[in-house]
Amino acid sequence: MVKRGAGVGKQTLTRGLESATLPCMNDLAGKHIVLGLTGGIACYKAAELCRALVKAGAQVQVVMTEAAAQFITPVTMQALSGRPVYTSQWDGREANNMAHINLSREADAILIAPASADFMAKLLHGRADELLSLMCLARPLASVPLLLAPAMNREMWSHPATQRNVAQLQTDGAHVLDVGQGEQACGETGDGRMLEASEILEDLLAFFTPKVLSGQQVMITAGPTYEAIDPVRGITNLSSGKMGFALARAAQQAGARVTLVAGPVNLPTPRGVLRMDVRSAIQMHAAVQAHVGQAQVFIAAAAVADWRPLTQADQKIKKDGSGDTPALSFVENPDILWTVAQSERAQKGHLFCVGFAAESHDLLAHATAKRVRKGVPLLVGNIGPSTFGQDDNTLLLVDAQGAWELPRDSKTKLAQTLIAEIAKRQQAPGRVS
């Protein structure tokens, strides 16, 4: 969905459906996932999903229905999972011949992808005439969650019977993921496609993430700003936006409703995040002011230009061979973080503000001074030249009690740690919630 933002220049709002970054290796370390396949052309996506789960550190046990084996072979899934595939309740490999008990007891979750309309109807009525449905019925409800990724024709998906089944399955405790929209194998277009593997993986990661920001609204700025000199030139910086996007992803997975105000970067929107694209510092300032009023947490991770040209030429400024250079005058951009931190809501403790400082030297001294100058409870510092565009980083956290370092790690992992730290501080006793 794309909307024109009101009163914020040329910003656009989009709801993210894709992951901004690939999950870190070992995001699912120690998790045992039963991946169930039912009949449907979307089984081809299950191969990519299985591979992604393994790359994320999970142990994957594939269980297939007879119908699923008509679309993709057990040999393929065994090669990708590195484990024998189960297809029958009569599988003789189990000493007690109770695969439906043994496999479900080992699982941290059962993920059915694709989940056909027929299989969901079967689950609703408690039918258990083959291994996969037996496992779903026999699983310990309190400790083995069931996640379903529906996949079917658009008419099947919208049919009242299917929608009733979905609603009842959710009431019974199953977690039914969204469906995708687009072209279908039958040639029709609409809702009902199974989500892409990356989207399902993001939803699974979010499912396992502690909801430390549940019910909170979080606004994050990310990336650089671009201050135009003329129609083809401008002033910007090397910020890639990766840290801000990783924070948006981590906050969303922690249960927050996230608004991401992004400068000009080439990154996909984190799944489930509302994104607002802006270009200049003035536009970013306007976007933040227009939407920060409902937030409980504001994270200023963007590398905002300190100055902008006083005037912007209507046409490209050309050299004339004289050796003279154009005279450029600059004006200071608005201080987005300071403005938000000085707002009534922030001063009363209703809005927890976090700043970022990208420095070139003397990080501790500059970050400490900036925290006081901006009036924020937490300032996150890094050395810009060593982190811009990189997938990993080292962070320095500075507050009123002192400073400590988060050692070098992926920006995804650092974002998860930082979000947990923010949640702990934001919900600390004595703060106004």
pLDDT of 218 strictly over 80? yes
DSSP 256-276: -EEEEEE-S---PPPTT-EEE
Q: What local confidence, expressed as pLDDT, does residue 25 receive?
A: 55
Q: Chain-centre distance of CA 66, in angstroms? A: 35
Rounded CA-CA distance 43/98 in Å is 26
pLDDT bracket for residue 376 (50, 70, 90): very high
Compute the average pLDDT of residues 355-374: 89
pLDDT tens by residue, 340-356? 999 999 999 999 999 99
Residue 284 CB: number of other CB atoms within 10 A? 29
Q: What is the pTM of this model?
A: 0.85
pLDDT of 6 above 60: no
Per the listing, tokens 């299917």 go with 162
Reference 133, options 151, 143, 150, 118; nearest CA is 118
Instruction: Give the chain's radius of gyration (CA, Å).
Output: 25
Tokens of 282: 């003035």
Q: Residue 108's Cα: distance from chain center in Å?
A: 22
2-18+211-426 fold: Rossmann fold (3.40.50)
pLDDT at 13: 58
Closest CA to 230 of 354, 109, 317, 343: 317
Q: What's the token pair of residue 298? A: 């504001």
What is the mean predicted confidence (pLDDT) over 324-334? 90
As a whole number, mean pLDDT of residues 293-305 equals 96
Between 407 and 385, name the one with better pLDDT. 407
pLDDT digits (tens, 9 = 90+) for 381-402: 887 666 777 888 889 999 999 9
Write the CA distances from 328 to 114, 158, 232, 312, integer angstroms.
Answer: 59, 60, 15, 10
pLDDT digits (tens, 9 = 90+) for 30-51: 999 999 999 999 999 999 999 9
Q: Decide if 186 is catalytic.
A: yes
* pLDDT for the residue 82: 96
Residue closest to 56 by CA, chosen among 38, 87, 35, 84: 35
Q: What angle do CA 379, 384, 386 make, to 5 degrees?
A: 125
The single residue of 24, 136, 186, 353 carrying the catalytic annotation is: 186
- Say if residues 135 and 141 touch (Cβ distance below 8 Å): no
Q: Identify the DSSP state of 120.
A: H
pLDDT tens digits along 66-104: 999 999 999 999 999 999 999 998 888 877 878 788 888
More confident residue, 7 or 96: 96
Q: What percent of the chain has pLDDT over 70?
A: 92
The CATH classification number of 32-195 equals 3.40.50.1950
The phi, psi pair for 303, rounded to 5°, reads -95, 85
State the Cα–Cα distance between residues 61 and 210, nearest whole angstrom. Answer: 24
Is the pLDDT confidence value at 19 over 80? Answer: no
The two most distant CA atoms of the chain are separated, in Å, by: 91
Mean pLDDT of 53-71: 96
Is the bond leading into 160 cis (omega within 30 degrees of zero)?
no
Which residues of the chain form CATH 3.40.50.1950? 32-195
pLDDT class of 14 with cuts at 50, 70, 90:
low
For residues 149-184, b (16+ Cβ closer than 10 Å) or e, as one string? bbbbbbeebeeeebeebbeebeeeebbbbbbbeeeb
| Segments of the chain assigned to CATH 3.40.50.10300 | 2-18+211-426
Structure tokens at 321: 């061979």
pLDDT attached to residue 230: 92
Cα separations in angstroms, 250 against 24, 197, 213, 257: 12, 19, 10, 11
- pLDDT band for 112, please (50, 70, 90 cuts): very high
